[in-house]
Amino acid sequence: MSVTELFNKAAPKRVDSITIRRPDDFHVHLRDGAMLTAVLPFTSAQFARGIIMPNLVPPVTSVAAAKAYRERILAARAATSDFQPLMTCYLTDATSADEIERGFRDHVWVAAKLYPAGATTNAHHGVTSIPALAPVLERMEKIGMPVLIHGEATDPAVDIFDREAVFMEQSLLPMRKRHEGLKVVIEHVTTAETVDIVRAHRSNTAGTITPHHLVINRTSLFQGGLRPHLYCLPVAKREHHRLALRKAVTSGDACFFIGTDTAPHRRTAKEAECCSAGVFGGATALQTYVQVFDEEGALDRFESFASVDGAKFYGLELNSGAITLERRESPVMAAVAVEDTEVVVFQGGQTLPWSVGEVRP
């Protein structure tokens, strides 16, 4: 066999487009009012469904509030959009197990979100003691309702880059032991250690991983100066953690799936003395994810990560229809207008190598 034949046999065939079942986003912040109207079209253009975060002001803590918020989202859709919002309950110290079960049984919400009090945006109403929440978690375990966890310790003595690791050790693992049958999603995983925890408990534990945590590390926050539009919680970690996340999402392990954590804030809130946490990745999510899978030589595993594994974990039917992603340069807008200001887009102003093509419902 000639050298040329050997090379041609070893070289992978270039793939210029892939068509996958329509995907879902299992972690979306749409906000409300003018912001909802401005950002919803970007998520609904890429995803058939989205699990909507409940940390509004005030938070979505009741069945009635969830129904009303869902109606506002549906009203904000384009006339041609079939995007379906999947609602969640914001857990507090006062959450009623009966209210949780009523909302789940009536198909108002698909999961409940556990924010440690003070952990992130609008989380000051969150849970102050996970052990004290046991009656609610026991009910959720009984009815098969997932709990979605923002996994960060909030003790100010804990270094911000260690908050996830400390929470896993002090809170997640003890909770996992107390409630062995509870379905748990560890949201926006950022460390190699949490990847290992998800895998070790994969029978009823999953992890979402954002596009931005696959692209940036903590150095990115300070390259050429402070980059407030890359600041999110949990904050990006060291490079070896980023590489571990890329291996996790492209591994084919069904315990990892899409959760963009797209979290828009007005430019004035990001470029402020006290910067708000959140990255608006809704406009570039699939382009970023597919680029990562391409770079890792795992395009054949992208559909499962994007369109299958999350739905199966939640017990949802798989979407019909398809979406095509093309190896075609995609210039990204720098920002999205919202009233008299704007929201900066993740990787905005750049040209990405992949584009979103045809969407077939």
Q: Which residues are catalytic?
A: 261
SS3 85: strand
Integer Cα distance of 188 and 236 in angstroms: 10
The reply, when asked if residue 40 is annotated as ligand binding, is no
| Structure token digits, residue 361 | 């419902």
Does 179 belong to an annotated binding site? no
> Which residue, 185, 192, 334, is CA-closest to 261?
185
Is residue 229 annotated as involved in ligand binding?
no
Q: Classify residue 1 as exposed, middle or buried by CB count within 10 Å of its CB (0-12, 13-18, 19+).
A: exposed
Quickly count: other Cβ atoms within 10 Å of residue 346's Cβ: 25
Please tell me whether 233 is known to bind a ligand. yes
Whether 270 has a binding-site annotation, put simply, is no
Task: Consult the annotation and say whether 226 binds a ligand.
Answer: no
Is 265 among the annotated ligand-binding positions? yes
Cα atoms in the Cβ-side hemisphere of radius 13 Å centred on 249: 37
As a dihedral over the C-alpha atoms of residue 285, residue 103, residue 178, residue 311, rounded to 10 degrees, the angle is -30
Q: Is 55 known to sit in a ligand binding site?
A: yes
In sequence order, what are the residues at sequence separation of 6 or more whose Cβ sits closer than 8 angstroms to the Cβ of residue 229?
270, 279, 280, 344, 346
Annotated binding-site residue? 150: yes
Which residues sit in the known binding site for substrate? 29-31, 55, 150, 233, 265, 277
Which residues sit in the known binding site? 27, 29-31, 55, 113, 150, 188, 233, 261, 265, 277
Which residues sit in the known binding site for Zn(2+)? 27, 29, 113, 150, 188, 261
